[in-house]
Structure 1
Amino acid sequence: MGELIPPAALAALPPANAAVITGKAFFPDLLSIPFMSGIGIAFGFSAALFLAAAAASWLAGGRQPHAAS
């Protein structure tokens, strides 16, 4: 992060804040919560689609529309 932030902006911050921003934990912590939220939404949506496909398959019964006669 220290290379992405202009030196003038880092110099304007209090030293404690600049140390937090340029530390090794700030950026991963910044991204982890939105990433985990997105993963939860994606897996939840895929589970719902899986259940819908399973229900559609079950409701179709023994029909095989593309089976060779």
Structure 2
Amino acid sequence: MAPRPTPPPKPTPTPTPSARPKPSPSPVSYPAYRTPPRKHPPRSGPSLVSLTLLITAPAVLAVAALRPR
């Protein structure tokens, strides 16, 4: 049996050049950012504090009146 010949060394692969983006032909300008105006809800009806007191005051009075003595 004859000895196997040594395989030739593999060449090192050369890196392929990556594609570079081309610069834009003219600079791009964006419009100035403006925050949209805030829309306030219409103020009709009682305020939140008045509504809370309107609901909790009778409940507190009922608990105080109906508690066992």
Q: How does the TM-score come out when normalised to structure 1?
A: 0.35
What TM-score do you get using the length of structure 2 for normalisation?
A: 0.35
More helix by share: 1
Larger Rg: 2
